[in-house]
Copies of this chain bind each other. A is one copy, B any other.
Amino acid sequence: MNRKTFLYTIYLFLSVLPTVSLFSQSKTEADIDARFIRQIHDVALTEGRCHPWLHHLTKKIGARLAGSPQAAAAVEYTFQMLDTLGLDSVWLQPCTVPHWVRGEREVVRIAQSDMGTVELHALALGNSVGTGDGGISAEVVRALSIDELEKMGEAKIKGKIVFFDRPFDATKINTFEAYGGAVDQRGSGASEAAKYGAVGVLVRSMASGLNDVPHTGGLQYKDGLPKIPACAISTNDAELLGQLLKKSPVKVFMRTNCELLAERPSFNVIGEIRGSEHPEEIIVVGGHLDSWDVGEGAHDDGAGCVQSMDVLQVFKRLNYKPKHTIRCVLFMNEENGLRGGTAYGDEAKRKGEKHMAAIESDRGGFTPRGFTVDGETDVFAEKFPLMQPWLTVLEPYGLHIKKGGGGADISPLKKQGVLLIGFEPDSQRYFDYHHTTADIFEAVNKRELELGTAAITSLIFLMDKYGL
């Protein structure tokens, strides 16, 4: 061992010190915990109910956009299911949701190019206005970023359809990072293009790979700017359009009939097991019950809902009596308004409820990799270290605990000092399905889904036992 190596060894030694000294489980307790977490996995993998529940939610009900009859059916179904579990309370929490409808199937067509006419695989973006029955027809200008629009200016953009074509960065190991690096085009592209007089927007789908499947998703219009229609096109079609534009001008025709109707009443669905020692202190676990209006909302986020419900089912089956209140919340309208999450946060604040932590599962029903933790600086600094000792019993299941995002629905709780935890499954396949017709029941693997239930239940058990 040379001197450099020796110094590095010392450095490593010091770097593990804090973790070790924070360890608060005794050997015996760790054994007890390991045994209970083993039992949680046994039950989740053999008596879990998340998979049949997901089947009903996807195959019998289907896509569940806020305000739709399917969303209402999902509220009713999950309420009934929670009500079969012998919980202490099951209730509906009202919220008012936007009601956007897609209307007739969208047409996006290359109307004039070297290839002649080509139909593109397209989906209007959620919240988008429609083009009207006559559609719009305009030349296309390609941009790789919103910044690029400023350089192009009104001269190049006015009267045109802006085509945002920045792809996912394939070198990001976690696909959510790639998504984060591209999604501004979908969310803000329409208003940014409207600033310079664009008449419509096409966005390359938010997808990991190349195929014919378009991905919808929400856009937000900025106040004071014209609302112009926007569609996502498949990544293959984006490639094609990009190629054609290199050679000569391309004119596109687009027709969409989407519209925003009057707001409607809807609900979060909530069920809880009351704590035996600290009933006033709540651990929330949830996902969102709404989905986009294509596919079946299986990974996004039927999976998170049925896992959250199954956490309670597994605890009941194990006859576990939590010290703290464990509350499953199925949030409404995450996709295009976050009204459910907002309503939950507002009511928690109004009632002065005390939440130990809130866990969200909204990254698909894939094999668990761990959890990411978020919170206000002081909350995070205080609580994150307390979770590290739990790795001893979680790592055998391949689970980590890292700094990172919580989840959209639970985000309003952050300012109230609540620790937010995002369940993190393997991310590789998520953006093959996200917001598409491919997000169906068959895309979810039963064991992967159940392992997610087990992972979340295990973490909640540790939180309940040791507190945070």
| Nearest CB on B from A462, distance (A) | 16
Does chain B have a CB within 8 A of A369?
yes
Does chain B have a CB within 8 A of A316?
no
| Nearest CB on B from A18, distance (A) | 12
A3-50 contacts to B, CB under 8 A, are 4-5, 7-9, 11-13, 16, 20-21, 23-28, 30, 41-42, 45-46
> Chain A binding site: helix, strand, loop or mixed by DSSP?
helix
A65-102 contacts to B, CB under 8 A, are none
Does chain B have a CB within 8 A of A159?
no
A425-448 contacts to B, CB under 8 A, are 426, 428-429, 432, 445-448
Q: Which of B25, B428, B447 contacts A428 (CB 8 A)?
A: B447
A16 to B27, CA, bound (A): 15
A208 to B447, CA, bound (A): 8
Closest to A27 in B: B8
Q: Which of B5, B23, B432, B448 contacts A24 (CB 8 A)?
A: B5
Does chain B have a CB within 8 A of A236?
no
- Which chain B positions have C-beta within 8 A of A173? 41, 397-398, 451
A445 to B398, CA, bound (A): 21
Q: Which of B24, B429, B447 contacts A445 (CB 8 A)?
A: B429
Does chain B have a CB within 8 A of A113?
no
Does chain B have a CB within 8 A of A2?
yes
Q: Which of B4, B209, B369, B447 contacts A26 (CB 8 A)?
A: B4
Instruction: Please determine whether A27 and B11 come into contact, CB atoms closer than 8 angstroms.
Output: yes
Does chain B have a CB within 8 A of A243?
no
A25 to B2, CA, bound (A): 10
A21 to B28, CA, bound (A): 28
Also in contact, A21 and B46, with CB within 8 A (given A426-B367, A428-B448, A447-B209): no
- Which chain B positions have C-beta within 8 A of A12? 20, 23
| Nearest CB on B from A150, distance (A) | 29
A165 to B209, CA, bound (A): 41
- Which chain B positions have C-beta within 8 A of A13? 20
Report how many residues on chain A are interfacial, defined by Cβ distance under 8 Å: 43
Does chain B have a CB within 8 A of A144?
no
A447 to B171, CA, bound (A): 10
| Nearest CB on B from A370, distance (A) | 9
Q: Which of B41, B171, B445 contacts A46 (CB 8 A)?
A: B171
Instruction: Please determine whether A45 and B171 come into contact, CB atoms closer than 8 angstroms.
Output: yes
- Which chain B positions have C-beta within 8 A of A240? none
Does chain B have a CB within 8 A of A1?
yes
Does chain B have a CB within 8 A of A170?
yes
A410-468 contacts to B, CB under 8 A, are 426, 428-429, 432, 445-448, 451
- Which chain B positions have C-beta within 8 A of A397? 173
Closest to A174 in B: B398
| Nearest CB on B from A304, distance (A) | 18
A114 to B401, CA, bound (A): 54
- Which chain B positions have C-beta within 8 A of A447? 170, 175, 208-209, 428-429
A367 to B23, CA, bound (A): 31
Closest to A171 in B: B42
- Which chain B positions have C-beta within 8 A of A28? 4
A203-236 contacts to B, CB under 8 A, are 208-209
Closest to A432 in B: B445
| Nearest CB on B from A396, distance (A) | 8
- Which chain B positions have C-beta within 8 A of A9? 20-21, 23
A148-182 CB contact bits vs B (8 Å, 1 = yes)? 00000000000000000000001101010000000
Instruction: Please determine whether A46 and B170 come into contact, CB atoms closer than 8 angstroms.
Output: yes
Q: Which 10 pairs of residues, A with B, have the shortest CB-CB distance? A: A4-B26, A42-B171, A8-B27, A45-B170, A428-B447, A428-B448, A367-B426, A8-B26, A5-B26, A367-B428
Subset of 10 A-B contacts with CB under 8 Å: A5-B24, A8-B27, A12-B20, A16-B16, A42-B171, A45-B170, A45-B171, A173-B397, A429-B445, A429-B447
Given A4-B27, A426-B426, 15 more pairs with CB closer than 8 A: A1-B21, A2-B26, A5-B24, A7-B26, A7-B27, A12-B23, A13-B20, A41-B171, A41-B173, A42-B171, A45-B171, A170-B447, A173-B451, A208-B447, A428-B448
